[in-house]
């Protein structure tokens, strides 16, 4: 089939369509302030609670604990936030919006790409908010602006890979609430069996074995290394490897599931 | 863009087959819709109507068969098909969190209009469908009828030449249904070709030039509404006695006319008759029995009756369970 007989979407048009669909996801926030509240209040609450309730008990002082915990809480919050991609996609599928979009002469990738791009923007916003709260409470980043940007970039890159899991769940679930249930039953243990809140050494041996290879631990270590100090190369590389593996496994599964569902 | 009034059919489908696991949703469906006409696709729930629409809208790939929509082959040039079609689904597919105007802007922008042009096109269509006042409100605050109109407006942004309406009035109140019918008539007057699926026979009767009846994934009858009604051959004879006490007498008289069993509903008795010649006999007999008749009518079958005789079950039996609380 030649290009003359089959019209295709030019890359520029595909980008425009992706941006338009991102705009749509972001404009939703304006009409649904609960989502913004969810995006903003939860991280703020977590930082405040963990710093002042657990800080003194786990570390020597809230201040010291904040240095350890803030990078980890960014990881947890961002990974949780990937579920929004699944919930939004599921809602589009069940309400017929996805069909409407696919019946338009637009790039086949635009609906998914637009949603994921918008969710990346939301995650960046939440990371910025967490860092702002952290700095207000006394978090210090010797890694400087560059370290913060690198850590944020790594986090968002990993979130892009994790988004494929969310897409798969979003397609397979029968309604948005089920996506949320998944979020709690899988994401909670996944993020808590890591070193984001406490040192690995404080846990029983069998748990340590998992905690040490948990991508959440590795990501938290990488972000600590980049922002606060400590080893960088190993956790960054291993985080990227995890991200690549997740994307390689789940992207094909998710794409296949989308094709089947629609 | 003006609507190309090509003389050829707007939709031709041949032997469409679609299976989902063990279920055969479509079992070799042929369709043809002339440009600028309305084809009503009738059938009970699960007959395959929506599957047919989804295939013709490029959302599903058929397992067998081919179709040409607006001159473009579905399989070879789906993008071209998408450029020519508009789709309004059974469930109003608008983004509920966005306002009416934002929904229209979204579609306009996706179709390549500039921001200004997309806004203008959106405002124009919202105005035409009586949604101008609600344009700045989130779609989730709309009534069911308003949502359907917004959905339809959204599917018209690209001035489609072929419009699919998949059960557009399911769950709507009669007033909203009438509004939607008027809109569809206006579109057809402008040259748009419409493929309408419905469970409501009066809807097909009022809107469609031609009707295809689908059951169990197969076309079981085609024709104009008049042809389909003529096909069953039987007319319905109804008698309403002045005095309800005479109902059993009337029923007995009607039973004596033909082989069919008369049905009493409310204050009248009806029976299906194959031959209008029975009328004089009936009048004489009722007169002899001393029955005063308030009303006596002989009428052609309704599409409901046609449907019943074609499929062996009433058309709207499943409709109540399927209504969308939109």
| For testing contact with chain B, the best of A105, A108, A258 (most B CBs within 10 A) | A105
- Average pLDDT score, chain A: 91
Q: Tell me which chain B residues have a C-beta less than 8 angstroms from the C-beta of A176.
A: none
Query: Who has greater pLDDT, B271 or B4?
Result: B271
Contact A96 B58 (CB under 8 A): no
**What is the ipTM score, two decimals?**
0.87
- Residue pair B121/B135 in contact (Cβ under 8 Å)? The answer is no
Per-residue confidence band for B315, with pLDDT thresholds at 50, 70 and 90:
low
Q: Write the pLDDT tens digit of every residue in A64-83.
A: 899 999 999 999 999 999 99
d(CA B127, CA B121): 10
What residues contact residue B74 under an 8 Å CB cut-off, 6+ apart? Answer: B55, B56, B58, B62, B66, B67, B68, B81
Q: Write the pLDDT tens digit of every residue in B241-257.
A: 988 888 888 888 888 87
> What is the three-class DSSP state of B102?
helix
Q: A169-173, A223-227, B2-6, B265-269: lowest mean pLDDT where?
A: B2-6
Q: B1-15, B22-36, B212-226: lowest mean pLDDT where?
A: B1-15
d(CA A70, CA A46): 10
Does residue A201 surpass a pLDDT of 80? yes
Which residues numbered 49-78 in A keep a CB inside 8 Å of some CB on B? none
d(CA A98, CA A107): 13
Q: H-helix or E-strand containing B319?
A: helix B319-322
Which residues share a beta bridge with A84? none
Q: Tell me which chain A residues have a C-beta less than 8 angstroms from the C-beta of B77.
A: 5-7
Which of A53-62, B57-66, B258-267, B291-300 reaches the highest mean pLDDT? B57-66
Which residues share a beta bridge with B272? B236
d(CA B89, CA A95): 10
Per-residue confidence band for B1, with pLDDT thresholds at 50, 70 and 90:
very low
Does residue A134 surpass a pLDDT of 90? yes
d(CA A192, CA A215): 12
Q: Tell me which chain A residues have a C-beta less than 8 angstroms from the C-beta of B96.
A: 95
Closest CA to B211 of B44, B40, B48: B40
CA distance A70 to chain B (A): 33
Q: How far is CA A21 from CA A17, A101, B55, B81, B139, in A?
A: 6, 10, 24, 22, 17
Average pLDDT for residues B47-62, to the nearest whole number?
92
A212 touches chain B (CB under 8 A): no
d(CA B59, CA A157): 31
Helix axes B144-155, B174-189, angle to 10 degrees: 20
Does residue A121 surpass a pLDDT of 90? yes
> CATH number for the B234-300 domain, one of 3.30.70.980, 3.90.110.10, 3.40.50.2300, 3.40.50.1370?
3.30.70.980
Q: Which residue has the tokens 């791009």?
A: A117
Q: Which residue has the tokens 């096909």?
A: B231
- Residue pair B251/B282 in contact (Cβ under 8 Å)? The answer is no
d(CA B179, CA B309): 31
Which residues share a beta bridge with B223? B211
Taking CA–CA distances from B155, the nearest residue in chain A reads: A100
Q: Which two tokens stand for residue B165?
A: 């309406």
Q: What pLDDT was estimated at residue B321?
A: 37
- Residue pair A154/A219 in contact (Cβ under 8 Å)? The answer is yes
- Residue pair B129/B154 in contact (Cβ under 8 Å)? The answer is no
Per-residue confidence band for B314, with pLDDT thresholds at 50, 70 and 90:
low
Q: Which residue has the tokens 């916003």?
A: A125
Query: Who has greater pLDDT, A235 or A2?
Result: A235
Pick from B54, B76, B112: CB nearest A13: B112
3-state SS, chain A, equals CCCCCCCCCCHHHHHHHHHHHHHHHHHHHHHCHHHHHHHHHHHHHHHHHHHHHHHHHHCCCHHHHHHHHHHHHHHHHHHHHCHHHHHHHHHHHHHCHHHHHHCCCCCCCHHHHHHHHHHHHHHHHHHHHHHHHHHHHCCCCCCHHHHHHHHHHHHHHHHHHHHHHHHHHHHHCCCHHHHHHHHHHHHHHHHHCCCCCCCHHHCCHHHHHHHHHCHHHHHHHHHHHHHCCCCCHHHHHHHHHHHHHHHHHHHHHHHHHHHHHC
Does residue A2 surpass a pLDDT of 50? no
Q: What pLDDT was estimated at residue A142?
A: 94
d(CA A156, CA A148): 12
Average pLDDT for residues A249-262, to the nearest whole number?
88
| For testing contact with chain B, the best of A33, A84, A104 (most B CBs within 10 A) | A104
- Residue pair B90/A15 in contact (Cβ under 8 Å)? The answer is no
Q: What pLDDT was estimated at residue B142?
A: 94
Chain A / chain B CB contacts < 8 angstroms: 88
d(CA B297, CA A178): 57
CA distance B252 to chain A (A): 54
Helix axes A11-31, A33-49, angle to 10 degrees: 80
Average pLDDT for residues B60-84, to the nearest whole number?
95
Contact B93 A96 (CB under 8 A): yes
- Residue pair A155/A162 in contact (Cβ under 8 Å)? The answer is no
Indicate the pairing of strand B268-273 with strand B263-265. Answer: antiparallel
B75 touches chain A (CB under 8 A): no
Contact B93 A95 (CB under 8 A): yes
The percentage of chain A sitting over the pLDDT mark of 70, rounded to a whole number, equals 97
d(CA A100, CA A169): 21
Query: How does B19-34 read in b/e, with b if 16+ C-beta sit within 10 Å?
Result: eeeeebbbbebebbbe
Q: Which two tokens stand for residue B141?
A: 């605050």
- Residue pair A214/A193 in contact (Cβ under 8 Å)? The answer is yes
d(CA B17, CA B22): 13
Q: Write the pLDDT tens digit of every residue in A89-117.
A: 999 999 889 999 999 999 999 999 999 99
- Residue pair A119/A82 in contact (Cβ under 8 Å)? The answer is yes
Average pLDDT for residues A5-26, to the nearest whole number?
88
Which residues numbered 111-140 in B keep a CB inside 8 Å of some CB on A? 111-112, 138
- Residue pair A78/A215 in contact (Cβ under 8 Å)? The answer is no
CA distance B115 to chain A (A): 10
Q: Tell me which chain A residues have a C-beta less than 8 angstroms from the C-beta of B58.
A: 102-103
Q: What pLDDT was estimated at residue B2?
A: 44
Domain coordinates in residue numbering, chain B: 9-230, 234-300
Q: What pLDDT was estimated at residue A6?
A: 56
Does residue B312 surpass a pLDDT of 80? no
Indicate the pairing of strand B193-198 with strand B38-42. Answer: parallel
d(CA B109, CA B93): 17
Q: A235-239, A250-254, B307-311: lowest mean pLDDT where?
A: B307-311
Q: What pLDDT was estimated at residue B318?
A: 42
Query: Who has greater pLDDT, A102 or B260?
Result: A102
Taking CA–CA distances from A26, the nearest residue in chain B reads: B98
- Residue pair B55/B245 in contact (Cβ under 8 Å)? The answer is no
Q: What pLDDT was estimated at residue B113?
A: 96
Q: Write the pLDDT tens digit of every residue in B88-114.
A: 977 668 999 999 999 999 999 999 999
Average pLDDT for residues A180-205, to the nearest whole number?
89
Which residues numbered 220-259 in A keep a CB inside 8 Å of some CB on B? none
Pick from A6, A27, A103: CB nearest B85: A103
Q: What pLDDT was estimated at residue B255?
A: 83
Q: Which CATH class is domain B9-230?
A: alpha beta
What residues contact residue B83 under an 8 Å CB cut-off, 6+ apart? Answer: A7, A105, B158
A31 touches chain B (CB under 8 A): yes
Contact B95 A96 (CB under 8 A): no
Q: Tell me which chain A residues have a C-beta less than 8 angstroms from the C-beta of B87.
A: 99-100, 103
- Average pLDDT score, chain B: 86
Contact A31 B97 (CB under 8 A): yes
Pick from B57, B94, B97: CB nearest A103: B57
């Amino acid at each position: 089939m030649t290009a003359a007989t089959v019209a295709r979407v030019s890359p520029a048009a595909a980008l425009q369509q992706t941006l338009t669909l991102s705009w749509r996801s972001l404009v939703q926030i304006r009409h649904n302030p609960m989502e913004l509240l969810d995006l903003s209040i939860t991280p703020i609450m977590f930082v405040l609670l963990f710093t002042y309730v657990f800080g003194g008990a786990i570390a020597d002082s809230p201040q010291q604990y904040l240095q350890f915990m803030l990078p980890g809480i960014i990881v947890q919050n961002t990974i949780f936030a990937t579920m929004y991609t699944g919930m939004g996609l599921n809602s589009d599928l069940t309400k017929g919006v996805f069909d409407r979009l696919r019946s338009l002469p637009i790039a086949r990738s635009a609906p998914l790409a637009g949603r994921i791009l918008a969710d990346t923007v939301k995650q960046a916003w939440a990371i910025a908010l967490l860092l702002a709260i952290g700095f207000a409470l006394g978090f210090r980043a010797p890694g400087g602006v560059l370290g913060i940007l690198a850590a944020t970039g790594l986090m968002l890159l990993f979130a892009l890979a994790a988004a494929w899991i969310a897409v798969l769940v979003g397609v397979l679930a029968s309604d948005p609430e089920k996506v949320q249930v998944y979020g709690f039953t899988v994401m909670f243990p996944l993020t808590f069996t890591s070193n984001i809140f406490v040192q690995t050494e404080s846990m029983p041996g069998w748990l340590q074995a998992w905690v040490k290879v948990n991508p959440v631990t590795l990501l938290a270590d990488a972000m600590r290394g980049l922002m606060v100090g400590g080893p960088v190369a190993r956790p960054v590389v291993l985080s990227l490897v995890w991200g690549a593996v997740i994307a390689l496994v789940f992207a094909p599964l998710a794409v296949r599931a989308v094709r089947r569902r629609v | 863009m003006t609507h190309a009034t090509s003389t050829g059919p707007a939709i031709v489908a041949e032997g469409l087959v679609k299976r989902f696991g063990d279920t055969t949703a479509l079992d070799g469906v042929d369709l043809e819709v002339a440009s600028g006409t309305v084809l009503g696709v009738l059938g009970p729930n699960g007959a395959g109507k929506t599957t047919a629409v989804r295939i013709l809208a490029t959302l599903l790939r058929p397992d067998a068969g081919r179709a040409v929509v607006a001159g473009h082959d579905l399989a070879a040039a789906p993008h071209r098909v998408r450029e020519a079609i508009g789709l309004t689904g059974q469930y109003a597919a608008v983004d509920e969190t966005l306002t009416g105007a934002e929904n229209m802007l979204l579609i306009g922008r996706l179709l390549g209009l500039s921001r200004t042009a997309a806004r203008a096109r959106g405002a124009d269509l919202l105005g035409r469908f009586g949604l101008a006042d609600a344009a700045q409100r989130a779609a989730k605050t709309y009534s069911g009828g308003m949502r359907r109109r917004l959905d339809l407006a959204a599917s018209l942004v690209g001035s489609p030449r072929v419009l699919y309406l998949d059960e557009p009035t399911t769950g709507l109140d009669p007033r909203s249904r009438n509004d939607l019918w008027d809109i569809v008539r206006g579109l057809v007057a402008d040259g748009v070709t419409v493929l309408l699926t419905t469970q409501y026979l009066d809807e097909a009767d009022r809107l469609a030039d031609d009707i295809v009846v689908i059951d169990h994934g197969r076309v079981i009858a085609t024709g104009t509404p008049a042809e389909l009604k003529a096909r069953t051959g039987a007319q319905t004879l109804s008698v309403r006695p002045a005095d309800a006490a005479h109902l059993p007498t009337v029923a007995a008289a009607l039973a004596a006319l033909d082989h069919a069993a008369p049905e009493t509903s409310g204050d009248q008795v009806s029976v299906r008759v194959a031959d209008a010649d029975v009328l004089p006999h009936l009048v004489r007999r009722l007169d002899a029995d001393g029955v005063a008749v308030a009303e006596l009518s002989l009428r052609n079958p309704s599409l409901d009756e046609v449907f019943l005789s074609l499929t062996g079950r009433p058309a709207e039996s499943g409709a109540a369970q399927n209504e969308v609380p939109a």
